[in-house]
Amino acid sequence: MSAPKTSPGNFFEDFHLGQQIRHATPRTVTVGDVALYNGLFGPRFAVQSSDAFAKSIGYPRSPIDDLLVFHVVFGKTVPDVSLNAVANLGYADFRFLKPVYPDTTLNAVSEVIGLRENSNKKTGIVYVRSRGFDETGDAVIDYARWVMVQKRDQAAPAPQEKVPELPKSVDTAQLGSACPKIAAAYDNVLAGSPHRLADYKVGEKIDHVDGITVEEAEHQIATRLYQNTARIHFNLFAESKGRFGRRLIYGGHAISLARALSFNGLTNAFHIAAINGGRHVAPLFAGDTVFAWSEVLASADLPDRKDVGALRVRTIATKDRPCADFPLKSGDDYDPAVILDLDYWVLIPR
């Protein structure tokens, strides 16, 4: 009998510490991908929306949205890391390293940095560090994530256990490499708001006001755009028999929705420089309406940068609950409406 030509993906017991995975299918990101991404999420940040605006402040053209870069790189990792995922759980030490422009080809490599079997013996947590590269070999993105993965055989012995220590935040000295020096020509009117770095105060909370209802078709198109093949997002036949009885919306979809919503209140925060940590608190499904609010955690100068500074922002996304009262936790537990808790650095003009 010949060897199988198809792959069921890796299960928890297939991973080992230090494992290096070079992911298949390099992906050239085009202006068509950018247009489709904009149509699916509606981000309005001027730098990523207008070549003319981007050129006026020092970019050669509009860079690709930071999160589209992330989703494409993430999608490369799915067949090897999370094809058999139960859920993607979180992120840390996540840095955008270089501007990415249309017609760049992205590829990805991951290393297994941690493993922990769950007490039910049916699943385990896999920690990986993934890096995205362009066609020149330069790294454009670097992040750690952890994902709950099914076991193939409940009785199979667990791999060597290790839970990695990850930094609680990205040092501000590591921010800014993916943003060129911004010219004084930055136009508040065209950008959509007069509020710059000094206008935001630590502790300030911002209700982003608007809501976006998740459509099944939009999620399916978006996740396919990234070549993300995780079964939990696509296979209704299988998932109807699973824990939720339906397909789960990709966690990155919630991040992009929250980011798009944050424009109303963080209009000039045009670049995500790093993600300190993120957690998908609860599942999101088609038909749910996403709202978001943010809190300013810190404001920081950047080394040798007088043009921009950094805001550390915590954005909370909810489902089917507006955020005028800033829902987060009741005691130690998250409010049932919360689906996403994201802590990140954005760059904003001075």
**Assigned token pair, 236:** 């209704």
Q: Using H for helix, E for strand and C for coil, what is the string for the chain?
A: CCCCCCCCCCCHHHCCCCCEEECCCCEEECHHHHHHHHHHHCCCCHHHHCHHHHHHHCCCCCCCCHHHHHHHHHHHHHHHHCCCEEEEEEEEEEEECCCCCCCEEEEEEEEEEEEEECCCCCEEEEEEEEEEECCCCCEEEEEEEEEEEECCCCCCCCCCCECCCCCCCCCHHHCCCCCCCCCCCCCHHHHCCCCCHHHCCCCCEEECCCCEECCHHHHHHHHHHCCCCCHHHHCHHHHCCCCCCCCCCCHHHHHHHHHHHHCCCCCCCCEEEEEEEEEECCCCCCCCEEEEEEEEEEEEEECCEEEEEEEEEEEEEEECCCCCCCCCEECCEECCCEEEEEEEEEEEEC
Residue whose token pair is 């088609």 = 286
- Structural domains of the chain ordered from first start: 12-349 (3.10.129.10)
Q: What is the mean pLDDT of the chain?
A: 95
Beta bridge pairs of residue 115: 126, 162
| Rg (the chain; Cα; Å) | 20
Which positions of the chain have pLDDT values less than 70?
1-2
Region of 203 please: left (phi>0), alpha (psi -120 to 50) or beta.
left
Structural tokens at position 102: 């249309």
Structure tokens at 177: 């490499």
pLDDT in tens, 51-91: 999 999 999 999 999 999 999 999 999 999 998 888 888 89
Rounded Cα–Cα distance for residues 160 and 234 (Å): 32
* 63 Cβ contact partners less than 8 Å away, ≥ 6 residues apart: 47, 48, 54, 99, 100, 101, 178
pTM (2 decimals)?
0.95
Model pLDDT, residue 257: 98
Residue 1, pLDDT score: 61
